[in-house]
Amino acid sequence: MVASQYAPSEANKTLWVFLEIEGDDFASVSLELLAKGRDLADRAGWTLCGLLLGSDVADRANQAYSYGADEVWLCDHPLLGEFDVCGYSHATMQAIKEGKPSVFLLGATSNGRDLAGRLAVRLRTGLNADCTDLILDEDRGVLVSEVTGFGGGVIALLESAEHCPQMSTVRPGVFVPNKPDPSRLGELVEIKVKLKEADIRSRIVERHVGKGVDLTQAPVLICGGRGIDGDFESLRELAALVDGEVGATRPPVDEGHIERERQVGQTGVVCRPKVALNFGISGAFHFIVGIQDAETIIAINSDPKAPIFDHADYCIVEDTHKILPELIKTLKRERESIHA
């Protein structure tokens, strides 16, 4: 068997969360993980630590405490100003060797996955990717990670009890961040990171970032599938009326009708809106995963046997092209009467 860099018996009862910086803030998934981590740590009597990497970022530690961290382990170095997976792996490795956490969690973002994939190999440990829930078995000190398997309605429970740290990347949007408490205090642990230019192996030549969309925060989600024949313009019109966001199943995304960041479901975004309206979607399980936590689900599909109706509160068996304009018209009329 492959032995990890340190054995479970040498590990501290600490749970680490990678604090990913996104623009001027922490990535929302990092705050979500602090909330879940806080909950798991409290139950088990463990310590929750945030791992903070960057250049001149020490002042962000307070924010991490306010969201639940007991400690922030800081790797501050001029060469960590930009995310470079090799540089970040190097620094994280040094922190982990000092802190020997039992559990290390990262958001399943592009950078989080890149870093986790490399580190798990360097640490010779198991990595459970894209998890949708976490349980900490206090008696054994084992992290049990839930993943939705094979596009079907099966949940697999995964663990790597014999290896350290137990690593998982977690799907954004599955946990809810705590309300920040500015009075919460924590302890800063500074790591003297040894890094040289040659450890940084990629260089950003250009970057173009527009205003990204975050479907996980949308109160109303309007989704379209194959059945709308690419008519996302009408969905956008409807979304604008109800202050919602437009999402889609995979086929219209693959066909280029809509941006990939709007793909909902297992290989896309998992959302928890108040209302999800689904037009022309048959309801394969890998899509349902993305909306099943909605308070109210509405499905419009011309096929009465479409599986989506098993997951809907209000079911409409009709051509979406007949319902959509009618709904837009009705909502417009309602708006006008409110403003009149």
Partner 1 sequence: MPDLEIVVCMKVVPKSEEIRVDMESLLLERTGVRSEINPPDMNALEMALALKDKQPARISILSMGPPFFEPILRVGLAMGAERFYLMSDREFAGADTLATTYTLAKGIEKIGDVDLILCGEESADGATGQVPPGLAEWLDLPQVTLATALTIDQKKRIVQVRREIKGGYEIQEVTLPTVISVKTASNEPRFIDFHRKPWAFEEAEVTIWSHDDVDVDDGYIGLTGSPTVVSGLREAEVRDRRKEFLQGSPEEIVRELAKRLQGMLT
Q: Does 306 bind partner 1 (CB under 8 A)?
A: no
Q: How far apart are CA 149 and CA 126, in angstroms?
A: 17
**Per-residue binder mask for partner 1 (CB under 8 A), 117-156, x = binder:** xxxxxx-xxxxxxx-------------x---xxxxxxxxx
- Closer to partner 1 by Cβ: residue 138 or 181: 138
Q: Does 216 bind partner 1 (CB under 8 A)?
A: no
* Alpha carbon 260 to its chain's center: 15
Residues 20-39 that bind partner 1 (CB under 8 A): 22
- State the Cα torsion 23-25-28-34 to the nearest 10°: 140
Q: How far is the CB of 57 from partner 1 (least distance, A)?
A: 19
Are 178 and 68 in contact by the 8 Å Cβ rule? The answer is: yes
- Closer to partner 1 by Cβ: residue 59 or 243: 243
Show the CA angle centred on residue 314, arms to residues 312 and 318, nearest 5°: 100
Paired tokens of 52: 């903070």
Q: How far is the CB of 197 from partner 1 (least distance, A)?
A: 13
Q: Does 199 bind partner 1 (CB under 8 A)?
A: no
Q: Does 316 bind partner 1 (CB under 8 A)?
A: yes
Q: Which residue stretch of 49-57, 176-184, 187-195, 253-261 sits at the interface with partner 1 (rule: CB under 8 A)? A: 253-261
Q: How far is the CB of 176 from partner 1 (least distance, A)?
A: 17
* Phi-psi region at 124: left, alpha or beta (left = phi > 0; alpha = psi -120 to 50): left
Q: How far is the CB of 329 from partner 1 (least distance, A)?
A: 8
Classify residue 307 by burial, with Cβ atoms within 10 Å: 0-12, 13-18, 19+: middle
The 8-class DSSP code of residue 150 comes to T
- # residues near partner 1 by CB under 8 A: 95
Q: How far apart are CA 103 and CA 43, in angstroms?
A: 15
- Closer to partner 1 by Cβ: residue 205 or 340: 205
